[in-house]
């Protein structure tokens, strides 16, 4: 009988995360922040001296989510910050690739999301209403990224992501920074939100 393939990854924290059966005790925010700071959005096909990371995107989505729902408690802002957290181990796939891979990617993402949420005091599954608001913030961020750094025209971005309310984007811009800076900001924002949840 052939040996089962290895399904875990060693993290820089020393944790071993089982990708098929992740447990909250094997999840550390430092691993998430580090991984996401080095994962490029848009498969790296963006303008600039640095890749636009999933960590930077996550910080922007959390900010936009707070504009959409200013009364949202810190736990839902944390859920917005962590909305792409599984990508620290499974990477960021553009939508056409996800569609080609099939349901397996989504199932893996769901299991990792549940473990991450439990680790940081969130429900395994975010309420549908909150999930929709986070998705709205995600689409606003995607529109901004597409038009500012990924080479899309505004018309093309609007076709794919919808035209955002300008008020949600006022004063915001896509920034490209070294991964070490983004990693530090993601970790600090995570800590601030956890402190507000106490």
- Whether the pLDDT of residue 136 is over 80: the answer is yes
- Residue 2, pLDDT score: 65
- Residue 1, pLDDT score: 63
- Whether the pLDDT of residue 6 is over 80: the answer is no
- Whether the pLDDT of residue 94 is over 80: the answer is no
- Is 18 within a domain? no
- Is 79 within a domain? yes
Residues 167-198 have pLDDT tens digits of 999 999 998 999 999 999 999 999 999 999 99
- Is 156 within a domain? yes
Residues 95-110 have pLDDT tens digits of 777 777 777 788 889 9
- Is 127 within a domain? yes
| Alpha helices by DSSP H, the chain | 29-37, 54-68, 74-81, 87-90, 95-101, 103-119, 128-148, 154-161, 166-169, 179-197
Q: How many domains does the chain have?
A: 1
- Is 17 within a domain? no
- Is 129 within a domain? yes
- Residue 3, pLDDT score: 67
- Is 86 within a domain? yes
Q: Evaluate whether 41 touches 93 at the Cβ level (below 8 Å).
A: no
Tell me the CATH number at 174: 1.10.3210.10
- Whether the pLDDT of residue 134 is over 70: the answer is yes
Which of these, 124, 112, 106, 126, lies nearest to 27 by C-alpha position?
112
Q: What is the pTM of this model?
A: 0.94
For 66, the domain range is: 24-197
- Is 10 within a domain? no
- Residue 67, pLDDT score: 98
């Amino acid at each position: 009988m052939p040996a089962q393939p290895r399904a875990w990854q060693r993290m820089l924290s020393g944790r071993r995360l089982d990708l098929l059966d992740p447990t909250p005790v094997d999840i550390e925010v430092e691993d998430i922040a580090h991984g996401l700071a080095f994962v490029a959005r848009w498969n790296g096909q963006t303008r600039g001296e640095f890749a636009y990371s999933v960590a930077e995107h996550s910080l922007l989505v959390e900010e936009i989510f707070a504009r959409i729902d200013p009364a949202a408690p810190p736990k839902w802002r944390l859920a917005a910050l962590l909305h792409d957290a599984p990508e620290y181990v499974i990477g960021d796939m553009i939508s056409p690739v996800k569609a080609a891979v099939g349901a397996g990617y989504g199932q893996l993402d769901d299991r990792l999301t549940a473990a991450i949420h439990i680790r940081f005091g969130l429900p395994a599954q975010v309420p549908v209403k909150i999930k929709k608001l986070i998705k709205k913030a995600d689409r606003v961020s995607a529109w901004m990224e597409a038009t500012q750094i990924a080479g899309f025209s505004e018309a093309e971005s609007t076709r794919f992501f919808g035209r955002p309310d300008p008020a949600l984007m006022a004063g915001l811009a896509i920034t490209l920074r070294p991964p070490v800076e983004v990693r530090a900001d993601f970790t600090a924002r995570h800590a601030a939100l956890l402190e507000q949840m106490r």
